[in-house]
Structure 1
Amino acid sequence: MAWDVRPVTPDRFEDFADVVNPNRRSDACWCLSHRLRAQEIEELGAGSREQAMRRLCERENPPGVVAYLDGTPVGWCSIGPRSDNPRLVHSRVIRPVDDVSVWSIVCVVVRGGHRRQGVTAPLIEGAVEYARSRGAPAVEAYPVEPQGRMDTTMAFVGTRSMFEKAGFEVMGTTDALASQMPRIVMRRSIA
């Protein structure tokens, strides 16, 4: 098995779409919820979300990475400077723990048919390496702490154990909930 994790540049957009929206539904999230303000997403309407994400992929720092297993796109991780995520910048429930200019992981998706096959470890490691290559001093994630069985409709937020395995440490708690489960702030220093 050969793993490769790459930024989602315009030439890799279709691979990203194969992971997060294989049926190309126009009303799908397209992983914009943290990258654009709610009003901007509403103004886009369902039909323009894909194009908005395509434009984000043209930026100097594309909005995340795609993981490939033997050339097949199998995972997506939304990662970028916290300051590029208006929903985090203005959040009253996931506040910064200090003044470090962290990069934030806000979404992790494993393509259907590839779950429970070890995709998240190389995906998160690749996301951290991408952030390091762009000068990030640290990477944060905001996973849930499941109490009992994880609600799979919210699995994209990740779990504490998933990030602990990737070398992240708990920095604090948040006031945010995902499916009634508390979120925490975890960080991995990389500078």
Structure 2
Amino acid sequence: MVSSTETAKAIEIQPAIWADFEALMGEKGGCGGCWCMLWRRTAKEMEAGKGEGNRQAMKALFDQGEAPGLVAKAGTDVIGWIQIDRRAAFPRLASSRVLKPVDELDVWSVSCFFIDKRFRRTGLSLKLLNAAVDWAHSRGAAIVEGYPIDTPRQKFPSFYAWTGFLGTFRQAGFAEVARRSDTRPIMRKALGDDRED
């Protein structure tokens, strides 16, 4: 096993492949059998698919050929994940009273993070977020949006902050564009048109 101090300078972030994603999620499938399908399915579908059903639904996305997110690796260990896709890929956002779309702009959404417990509070979420923004930009994204928790870290266990913390998004240059709940802002980063062809 590697320690966070041993690998702080050796972390690589890359588009996820199924084997790496599955290894990080473990037997429980991330948070209680979610397999990061929460925003992609209705509440009824999520509950019915808890565990294996959600696993198969996520694997089908990987099987389509384009990664639905990025992973961080320390050597061969998979230590973190961030899911990013076009907002339209997350229909449950549209039905959320708090996180429904602010407008009709073509937005990419950061829907969740999953960090190995050994690497929480090390800055890995920020590295993943910056890499995800760059990756989306290279695929034509003009705006990236996130839905972090705005509450003191000591009052909210990191394990449950799967949409990230507000401070991470601020550090990455995101600005608040809406807030329909005291603790759940909608953050955005507008990207310039400076992609390499």
What TM-score, normalized to structure 2? Answer: 0.82
Distance 1:168 1:45 in 2: 32
Distance 1:60 1:129 in 2: 19
Partner in structure 2 of residue 159 of structure 1 = 165
The count of aligned residue pairs is 181
Partner in structure 2 of residue 178 of structure 1 = none
Structure 1 residue ranges without an equivalent (≥5)? 176-180
Distance 2:95 2:40 in 1: 12
Partner in structure 1 of residue 13 of structure 2 = 5
CA deviation string 1:61-85 (max 9, x = no partner): 4321111234432111111111110
Partner in structure 1 of residue 4 of structure 2 = none
Q: Say yes or no: does 1:78 pair with 2:79.
A: no
Instruction: Note if contact 2:149-2:183 (Cα within 8 Å) is conserved in structure 1.
Output: yes
Q: For 2:174, which of 156, 164, 168 is the aligned residue?
A: 168
Q: Secondary structure at the match of 2:183?
A: strand
Instruction: Note if contact 2:98-2:179 (Cα within 8 Å) is conserved in structure 1.
Output: no
Residue 136 (structure 1) shift? 0.9
Give the RMSD, CA atoms, in angstroms.
2.1
What is the percentage of aligned positions where both structures have the same residue?
A: 33
Distance 1:43 1:147, change over 3 A: closer
Q: Say yes or no: does 1:140 pair with 2:145.
A: yes
Distance 1:45 1:146, change over 3 A: closer
Partner in structure 2 of residue 112 of structure 1 = 117
Partner in structure 2 of residue 25 of structure 1 = 28
Q: Secondary structure at the match of 1:101?
A: coil
What TM-score, normalized to structure 1? Answer: 0.84
Aligned 1:80-95 pairs, distance under 5 A: 80-95=85-100
Q: Give the structure with the larger strand fraction.
A: 1
Distance 1:116 1:174, change over 3 A: same
Report the AA paired with residue 167 of structure 1: G
